[in-house]
């Protein structure tokens, strides 16, 4: 049943396995950030500061909704990794069949709710009048593309659970190049404004998801389902919801804090909004390796706990820590030297306000975040490891801590301290989340990682 693209993470040296699995995933995530970045670059350079601020102001609500969708898909994929570790291919297909129709239901409901409430949400966030139309035109189209986004994320999560992190990369590269071409056509040639950026992203995600589906059905025999696999199974559905909903809620709860913070940033004016937008885009690119480390840790933990090897999970966390800390130091040095130049890419070089006011603010925002990249590493590493072990509910609690920190900064400190408080809101969220995640991880490991409801039975060691 095994395809040569599938990777068994339960045997071999953890460091080597982590690197070989993580690097293709990292490239895929970088390309994903790349085509998101292209939207912002083209908008900022071609349409001006107000358009840039409008698109940037949608980042937190975008994270709220798409984070829910991506978290659901990532959670649904964890039982697949566990079943693959157990070599239970019949059970694996049952999970895949049930998650497909379950994801379709969520996609329709979330798309309907967000598109109807889109305008009201932007009003609630105090989006300024001079940026409102840009924000609405962009985010409405992004919400329309939720089914395409969920299709790709679900399929790529399933494929990665089987140990193949290369196949999703190939489709993301194609999708990224397509997005760049469509941005140029829609914005620069057809003069469609920020709506062109939204349409380009929607179409690129749709093409990527469809290609991933066709390829998976053709090249992975283990994913070839029959009609019985699609029949609703109560225990399977409950297991999927037990894994997917907490992960989706974790992203969304975290995003609530980001929305509260963005609302306060909006009150500081278009210059502060543009500065955070430019700085955040550079930061999102810089922190992508932490996301790759986290996603790798979830698959590694899922497969090894499924195989009854919890001791390898701790080895994986140790090796991933070495990789992440080394990268954190490198990223801080690079951003310290070139962060301002990178943020300037998103701004109009001919604008005095952009170069003299907005750029220094972006540089300050970047460096305040980069100092705290090690705490961010452990937010991703420990949270995703805990999820891979089967304790998705704990991720919700970690998200609550992040929400509290960003909410306090946004509601209380930004009105008092202004932009300086914005710069330290994310670091405060990361540190507070780590204060919960580390003892939670140790607790899970003492329990041998596996909750009773997971359906996985670990070997019991007899006492001498």
**What are the average pLDDT values for consecutive 10-residue runs of the chain, which has 464 residues?**
58 86 80 68 70 72 80 82 77 85 91 90 79 83 88 83 76 81 84 82 85 80 77 85 81 77 83 84 88 88 82 92 95 90 74 76 92 95 88 80 89 89 93 94 75 43 38
Q: How far apart are CA 382 and CA 391, in angstroms?
A: 11
* pLDDT at position 457: 41
Residues 6+ apart with CB under 8 A from 290: 324, 327, 373, 376, 377, 379, 380, 381
Q: Are 248 and 68 in contact (CB under 8 A)?
A: yes
* pLDDT at position 428: 94
Residues 6+ apart with CB under 8 A from 440: 382, 386, 391, 394, 397, 398
Q: Are 247 and 71 in contact (CB under 8 A)?
A: yes
* pLDDT at position 7: 63
Three-class DSSP category at 311: helix
* pLDDT at position 421: 92
Q: How far apart are CA 288 and CA 42, in angstroms?
A: 21
Q: How far apart are CA 134 and CA 126, in angstroms?
A: 14
Q: Are 421 and 409 in contact (CB under 8 A)?
A: yes
Give the residue ranges of DSSP H helices in 48-58.
49-56
Task: Please identify which residue in the block is written with the tokens 């080597």.
Answer: 16
* pLDDT at position 128: 77
pTM of the model: 0.69
Q: Which two tokens stand for residue 247?
A: 């992960």
DSSP type of residue 461 = P
Task: Please identify which residue in the block is written with the tokens 């969220």.
Answer: 429
Rg (CA), the chain: 22
Q: How far apart are CA 55 and CA 68, in angstroms?
A: 20
């Amino acid at each position: 049943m095994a395809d040569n693209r599938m990777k068994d993470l339960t045997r071999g040296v953890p460091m080597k396995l982590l690197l070989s699995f993580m690097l293709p995933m990292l490239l895929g995530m970088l390309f994903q950030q790349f085509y998101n970045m292209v939207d912002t670059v083209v908008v900022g350079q071609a349409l001006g500061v107000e358009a840039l601020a409008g698109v940037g102001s949608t980042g937190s609500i975008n994270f709220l909704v798409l984070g829910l969708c991506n978290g659901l898909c990532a959670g649904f994929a964890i039982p697949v990794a566990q079943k693959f570790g157990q070599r239970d291919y019949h059970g694996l297909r049952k999970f895949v069949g049930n998650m497909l129709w379950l994801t379709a239901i969520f996609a329709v409901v979330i798309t309907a709710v967000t598109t109807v409430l889109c305008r009201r949400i932007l009003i609630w966030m105090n989006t300024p009048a001079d940026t409102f139309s840009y924000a609405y035109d962009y985010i409405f189209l992004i919400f329309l593309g939720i089914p395409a986004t969920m299709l790709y994320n679900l399929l790529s999560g399933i494929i990665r659970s089987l140990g193949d992190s290369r196949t999703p990369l190939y489709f993301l590269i194609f999708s990224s190049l397509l997005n760049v071409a469509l941005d140029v056509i829609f914005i620069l040639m057809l003069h469609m404004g920020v709506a062109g950026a939204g349409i380009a992203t929607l179409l690129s995600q749709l093409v990527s998801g469809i290609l991933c589906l066709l390829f998976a059905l053709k090249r992975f025999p283990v994913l070839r389902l029959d009609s019985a696999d699609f029949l609703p199974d109560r225990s399977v559905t409950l297991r999927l919801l037990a894994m997917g909903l907490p992960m989706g809620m974790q992203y969304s709860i975290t995003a609530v804090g980001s929305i509260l913070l963005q609302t306060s940033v909006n009150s500081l004016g278009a210059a502060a909004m543009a500065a955070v937008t430019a700085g955040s885009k550079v930061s999102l690119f810089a922190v992508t390796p932490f996301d790759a480390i986290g996603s790798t840790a979830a698959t590694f933990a899922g497969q090894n706990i499924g195989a009854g090897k919890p001791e390898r999970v701790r080895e994986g966390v140790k090796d991933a820590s070495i990789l992440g800390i080394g990268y954190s130091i490198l990223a801080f040095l690079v951003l310290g030297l070139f962060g301002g130049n990178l943020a300037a890419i998103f701004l109009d070089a001919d604008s005095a306000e952009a170069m003299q006011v907005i750029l220094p603010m972006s540089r300050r925002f970047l460096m305040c975040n980069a100092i705290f990249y090690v705490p961010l590493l452990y937010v991703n590493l420990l949270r995703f490891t805990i999820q891979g072990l089967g304790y998705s509910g704990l991720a919700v609690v970690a998200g609550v801590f992040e929400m509290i920190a960003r909410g306090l900064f946004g509601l209380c400190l930004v009105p008092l301290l202004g932009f300086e408080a914005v710069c330290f809101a994310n670091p405060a969220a990361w540190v507070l989340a780590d204060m919960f995640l580390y003892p939670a991880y140790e607790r899970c490991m003492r329990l041998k990682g596996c909750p009773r409801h997971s359906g996985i039975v670990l070997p019991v060691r007899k006492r001498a």
